[in-house]
Amino acid sequence: MRPPIAALLALLSLAAGPLPGPAAAQDGGGKGKEENPFGEEAPPPLTPEQEKEAAALFDKAKALASKGSSHFPVARPLFQRFLKLYPGADEDRLREAEDRSGENCLAGIELMHDGGPSSRRIDVELMGDGYLESKYQEFLKHAPSQMVEFWREPLYAEYEDYFNVWRFDLVSKEEGVDELSMEERMGAPPPPPEPARPGRKKKREPKKFSTALNCIAAGPQNQVWADPEQVQRWRRYLPESDGLTIAFAKKGELGMGGGGIATTGRKVAVVHEFGHAFVGLLDEYAVNPMRPQGRIFAANAVSTNDDDPRTPPPVDDIPWKHWLKAKHPDVKVLLGGATYQTGVFRPAASCAMNSGGSGAMCWVCREEGVLKIYSYVNPVDEYGPVQDVITMTPAESREFFVVPMAPKRHRLLVEWYLQRISTGEPLPPEPAAPVEGGEVSSVADDRASGMWRGDGDRGFRRRQDPLPEGKPLGSTLKAVEKKLKDNAFRSSVVLKGLDPGTWKVTARVLDDTKVPGYGFPWVLKDDDRMREEWKTWRVDVTGGAAAVPAPGPGGAGGK
């Protein structure tokens, strides 16, 4: 049974919390072995020889399916044959075979926008609903048009290479979006059937369709919404998933967003809906003449406790007060927001969250979007050496480097510091996790999990373990920068001639968000310092005295 649509709409319109998530066993239509209510015997387990044959058939079908939807016509019959011949096979394989060959099924997954390694990027799914078996390849043409609007937003255009986008080619049994009765919208039980009367026209029942995402016209203006259980059903076939989906309903109109899912229809509003689903923003338009019953507080909306619903709260209670104090000409305190005409205030007259996505994000929403991106993605993309503790002699030299992430039109700042921890013999070694060999490392996987996360895992860890106050200690080092492809670069220093003892070298990487053409940085307030990262190595120098003096404050430690 679905949750009451009225409650669902309240959650979605405010994007204020998680939707009911699917349990692991909820397949949204997938078939595995289930208890038979009529007492029929379950399929007998496979013999060892049958298990071998079943595994070979499944693996062959899976190998074809992994090559993309162009191989779907060949892979699908193999999955169907597997289901027919081996009903007693492993439940996970049975479920996947059904998901890849049933009436509503997954034809294939392909990477349509490659920003970089998934472990260091935000991986987003783009799914299509209502594409029949004979027409599912139409989505190959429709998918890029959805992303045109997405990349047109300056926020996502600037940080384009921070994202990967995966196209899910889904086959639907039928075309259409479910209609809801008034009882379904309000969560009430259906009324008893009325006795038939001669000459009385029968009441039209809401239309229902069997589709891959089970999209429903859930909003007051028939805004379309994808079933979270169905989204999760397909999402589990992308191990790289960050739990963020853009769902396109072929027969839908307007969209809705929340809980990590941005659903859109033919009237594309992907930036607006993704603002709900990913950034956690509220609507900035105002259609409800009533004031809200409870408190509203978000990056781009705040309610007032004043008896007069047109009186804004004190400045110190406004989430974007730092923009007001900076006197940004486009940031104000305007009446109306979070769908309410009174009692709530918004920061800008024009914003993607106010227009259904036809305009760009306002300054306040864009700032929140940058911080959300960095709650998933590290500012440092690669670094070396991979070991945290380096041992060398005074006569040796050693290079240290970082490769920052690369926005499109501005560069991240890199500063290097060298601090002497002890003189004489190095300090006793600290216990550390074993590290495999190599001199280059990517930053650890920081992806989020589940249907909804207020932030990515990196953001959660940063709040648990904040950076030290100020900048790294020690003298500054002069770095060498080498240009890489596009806007990427490599910053390095070489340490040599250090006296025996223990040293610490730190690379501080910061995104100042100073994008050319904008009079202000995109981020003015970053309490958790999401845009900043320190990469630190301990250097133990053993042996005799240094051949040359170690760099002093402001000295050059690199070539």
- Sequence-distant (6+) residues with CB within 8 A of 163 are 113, 115, 121, 122, 123, 124, 156
| Structure confidence at residue 32 (pLDDT) | 40
| Structure confidence at residue 430 (pLDDT) | 65
Asked if residue 77 has a cis previous peptide bond (ω within 30° of 0), the answer is no
Phi-psi region of 298 (alpha: psi -120 to 50; beta: other; left: phi over 0): beta
447 and 433 fall within a common domain: yes
Range of lowest pLDDT (16-30, 73-87, 178-192, 195-209):
16-30
DSSP 215-252: -EE-STT--EE--HHHHHHHHTT-TT--SEEEEEETT-
439 and 461 fall within a common domain: yes
In a domain? residue 259: no
Of 374, 392, 419, which marks where a domain is finished?
374
Q: Tell me how far apart the alpha carbons of residues 94 and 237 are, in angstroms, rounded to a whole number.
A: 14
DSSP state of 513: -
Per residue in 231-240, pLDDT (tens digit) is 999 999 999 9
Across the range 117-124, mean pLDDT stands at 96
Per residue in 68-101, pLDDT (tens digit) is 999 999 999 999 999 999 999 999 999 999 999 9
pLDDT tier, 467 (very low <50, low <70, confident <90, very high otherwise): very high
In a domain? residue 58: yes
Q: Which two tokens stand for residue 127?
A: 């799914």
Q: How far is CA 6 from the centre of its chain?
A: 27
Show the DSSP H helices in 258-390 as ranges. Answer: 270-274, 321-325, 352-355, 363-374
In a domain? residue 520: yes
Q: Tell me how far apart the alpha carbons of residues 444 and 128 are, in angstroms, rounded to a whole number.
A: 32
Return the CATH number at 470: 2.60.40.10
Higher local confidence (pLDDT), 418 or 199: 418
Q: Tell me how far apart the alpha carbons of residues 408 and 414 are, in angstroms, rounded to a whole number.
A: 17
Please state the domain count of the chain: 3
Nearest to 223 by CA among 246, 197, 271, 255: 255
Is the Cβ–Cβ distance between 506 and 558 less than 8 Å?
no
| Helix/strand/coil percentages in the chain, nearest 5 | 25, 25, 50
Across the range 30-59, mean pLDDT stands at 76
* Residue 515, helix vs strand vs coil: coil
In a domain? residue 295: yes
DSSP state of 275: I
| Structure confidence at residue 319 (pLDDT) | 97
| Structure confidence at residue 550 (pLDDT) | 47
443 and 525 fall within a common domain: yes
DSSP state of 83: H
Average pLDDT, the chain: 85
| Structure confidence at residue 222 (pLDDT) | 79
Q: Would you tell me how many other CB atoms lie within 10 Å of the CB of residue 85?
A: 13
Show the DSSP H helices in 345-496 as ranges. Answer: 352-355, 363-374, 457-464
Domain carrying residue 67: 46-102
Of 344, 374, 404, which marks where a domain is finished?
374
- Sequence-distant (6+) residues with CB within 8 A of 403 are 380, 381, 382, 383, 484, 488, 489, 490, 491
| Structure confidence at residue 23 (pLDDT) | 33
β-strand pairing of 501-510 with 532-541 = antiparallel
Residue type at 426 in one-letter notation = P
411 and 354 fall within a common domain: no
Q: Cα torsion at 108, 229, 166, 129 (round to 10°)?
A: 70
| Structure confidence at residue 448 (pLDDT) | 34
460 and 524 fall within a common domain: yes
Longest dimension (CA), the chain: 108
353 and 387 fall within a common domain: no
In a domain? residue 149: no
Show the DSSP H helices in 163-235 as ranges. Answer: 182-186, 228-235
Range of lowest pLDDT (3-7, 111-115, 175-179, 250-254):
3-7
Higher local confidence (pLDDT), 190 or 501: 501
Is the Cβ–Cβ distance between 30 and 95 less than 8 Å?
yes
Per residue in 275-290, pLDDT (tens digit) is 999 999 999 999 999 9
pLDDT tier, 377 (very low <50, low <70, confident <90, very high otherwise): very high
Q: Tell me how far apart the alpha carbons of residues 178 and 227 are, in angstroms, rounded to a whole number.
A: 11
Half-sphere exposure of 50 (CA within 13 A, CB side): 13
| Structure confidence at residue 423 (pLDDT) | 85
352 and 298 fall within a common domain: yes
| Structure confidence at residue 402 (pLDDT) | 98
Residue type at 302 in one-letter notation = V
Q: Tell me how far apart the alpha carbons of residues 119 and 114 are, in angstroms, rounded to a whole number.
A: 12
537 and 490 fall within a common domain: yes
* Residue 342, helix vs strand vs coil: strand
Nearest to 271 by CA among 352, 169, 366: 352
| Structure confidence at residue 374 (pLDDT) | 98
Q: Would you tell me how many other CB atoms lie within 10 Å of the CB of residue 397?
A: 12
385 and 497 fall within a common domain: yes
Does residue 251 surpass a pLDDT of 50?
A: yes
Of 326, 356, 374, which marks where a domain is finished?
374
Across the range 192-214, mean pLDDT stands at 74
Across the range 369-396, mean pLDDT stands at 96
Range of lowest pLDDT (367-371, 374-378, 432-436):
432-436
- Helix and strand tally (H, E) in the chain? 13, 23
- Phi, psi (deg, nearest 5) at residue 278: -100, -55
| Structure confidence at residue 145 (pLDDT) | 86
pLDDT tier, 40 (very low <50, low <70, confident <90, very high otherwise): low
β-strand pairing of 297-298 with 301-303 = antiparallel
Q: Tell me how far apart the alpha carbons of residues 401 and 384 are, in angstroms, rounded to a whole number.
A: 5
Q: Tell me how far apart the alpha carbons of residues 300 and 354 are, in angstroms, rounded to a whole number.
A: 11
Q: How far is CA 514 from the centre of its chain?
A: 23
Q: Counting every residue, how long is the chain?
A: 559
Across the range 263-270, mean pLDDT stands at 84
415 and 515 fall within a common domain: yes
In a domain? residue 153: no
| Structure confidence at residue 219 (pLDDT) | 74
Q: Which two tokens stand for residue 192?
A: 């008893």
437 and 307 fall within a common domain: no
DSSP state of 277: I
In a domain? residue 388: yes
Residue type at 494 in one-letter notation = V
Does residue 153 surpass a pLDDT of 60?
A: yes
pLDDT tier, 392 (very low <50, low <70, confident <90, very high otherwise): very high
In a domain? residue 143: no
Nearest to 416 by CA among 554, 529, 528, 540: 554
Higher local confidence (pLDDT), 359 or 383: 383
| Structure confidence at residue 4 (pLDDT) | 42
Q: Which two tokens stand for residue 394?
A: 């005074």
407 and 534 fall within a common domain: yes
Range of lowest pLDDT (255-269, 401-415, 428-442):
428-442
Q: Would you tell me how many other CB atoms lie within 10 Å of the CB of residue 296?
A: 21
